[in-house]
Structure 1
């Protein structure tokens, strides 16, 4: 009978002191905190408001002044509020003037067009009930060519008014965005400038010549 030699197995104890237990990583820990530019946020809000209702972005900027946001917090903001309110008045004043001009141009365009259509049908005779006939009821104050020119002029005026509507609307959006960004733009009271004499090299073809000039340096 053969005896099997059994090797003693030595179980080594695990040193738990050297084992590091890492806490589970959460999504919040894995994400780095991103910097949020308050000027961009305010500018985006001002754009959305101005696109919906003209002047709403300017009211939002005035609310920023009232709440004391931005670098102008704690400073005198009376002039800035008056200036912002004046821009709102200018926006709606511009829309009002353009609307009145559009209504007037449309009315005159229809008058000239109606007169021109009547003359085309009646061999160039003016409309006896129209606004362009003289007191005798036969002759006209304007020729057919003059009526055609007037019609084209008022039609062009209508197109210019519509284009001006778009410009005022776009200016309203741009102004609201720029003003909102400037609320958070750091402009302190240390702004200064210095003017010093200098020379500018004009670098002519046949040689070099210097021109005296003034150098303006801004420090802020």
Structure 2
């Protein structure tokens, strides 16, 4: 037990002394031998937090402004279809309840021609579509957060002309057929 406490004490002492805190930690990455760029290692978590707080704010933080309308159109469409299917589900449910209580209008232009099995089928259809719309809306929201996080991670990679991957079409010297491949070039 004392050995466990000693290990915990040293672990906490050395991690707190070595600078592992919740503040921003700049990381210097040498891109060339002459200059270096300062990189924020907490930028992906910030972008994900902002995007979870307000959808699209993580994309603004990453300076990918063109993604914000896509996020809001996706969320707006999901919320619209959820509300529309919920309204239709409630209409079918209320009409079915009226049928059970014998307080319905047989001359109703919309529901007058439908029997009880059609009303039950309509309820099932619109409830399933309502639930599917809620699931898709939640998936778009989660995808918004994941996109902000991944995009912030990918902004930290060094992508320049010294490291390239290109498609390559070359002729095989044995049978003289054309082959397709990828060429990886790294220039120092």
User: Structure 2 length as normaliser, TM-score?
Assistant: 0.67
Q: What's the counterpart of residue 127 of structure 1?
A: 105
Report the Cα offset of residue 102 of structure 1.
1.4
Larger radius of gyration: 1
Corresponding residue SS for 1:141: coil
Report the Cα offset of residue 126 of structure 1.
4.8
- 1:13-52 matches, within 5 Å, as 37=27, 38=39, 40-52=41-53
- 1:148-167 matches, within 5 Å, as 148-167=120-139
- How many residue pairs match? The answer is 151
Match of 2:158 among 174, 186, 190: 186
Q: What's the counterpart of residue 145 of structure 1?
A: 117
**Structure 2 vs 1, CA of residues 156 and 32 (structure 1 numbering), >3 Å: closer, same or farther?**
closer
What per-residue deviation string (whole Å, max 9, x for no partner) do you get for residues 65-86 of structure 1? Answer: xxxxxxxxxxxxxxxxxxx222
**Contact 1:126–1:132 at 8 Å: present in 2 too?**
no
In structure 1, C-alpha distance between the alignment counterparts of 2:19 and 2:92, rounded to whole Å: 67
**Structure showing the higher strand proportion among its residues:** 2
**Contact 1:197–1:215 at 8 Å: present in 2 too?**
no
- Uncovered stretches (5+) of structure 1, i.e. residues with no partner: 1-30, 63-83, 134-139, 199-211
Corresponding residue SS for 1:54: coil
**Contact 2:79–2:134 at 8 Å: present in 1 too?**
no
In structure 2, C-alpha distance between the alignment counterparts of 1:118 and 1:157, rounded to whole Å: 23
Corresponding residue SS for 2:60: helix
**Contact 2:96–2:119 at 8 Å: present in 1 too?**
yes
- Uncovered stretches (5+) of structure 2, i.e. residues with no partner: 1-16, 28-38, 173-177
**Structure 2 vs 1, CA of residues 195 and 121 (structure 1 numbering), >3 Å: closer, same or farther?**
same
